[in-house]
Amino acid sequence: MEVIKMNKQDFDKLNIFGLGKPNDAYREYFTGNSYLNPIATTENGISFANVTFEPGCRNNWHIHASKSGGGQVLICTAGYGYYGEEGKEVQKLSPGDIVVIPANIKHWHGARKNSWFSHIAVEVPGEDTSNEWLEPVTDEEYDKLGD
């Protein structure tokens, strides 16, 4: 099995949207440290932010709830990560991968154990949108993924 690694120095060279600041406002919903760098918001409410995860960091299971529209798009930009969706096999993510997450789908995302990871999170506008934060991804679940 190939072990994917990316140290901070190599990652910083590739993370073109920047590390940003510690994601303290959402710290309780992450295992490990994450960073947030807001990029832009359009006049119709689409927001773009670069989210960076240190090795092993992942967010809790969560749902981008919406009555209509909504959801999230992840555009992977640097390092290597994971995307997990309830009832499906976890996807390994690499730069250039895009994940379209419909509203009301339980999921999580984060870095692989030995790699920094960064993605642009695009919040899709909708009607009566909210984020519902759920339980953490357990160490047992995460450790089964390998590298």
pLDDT tens, position by position, 36-86: 999 999 998 899 999 999 999 999 999 999 999 999 999 999 999 999 999
Per-residue pLDDT tens digits for 136-147:
999 999 999 987
The domain defined by 8-143 folds into: Jelly Rolls (2.60.120)
Is the predicted pLDDT of residue 1 greater than 60, yes or no?
Answer: no
* CA terminus-to-terminus distance, the chain: 9
**Domain ranges within the chain, ordered by starting residue:** 8-143
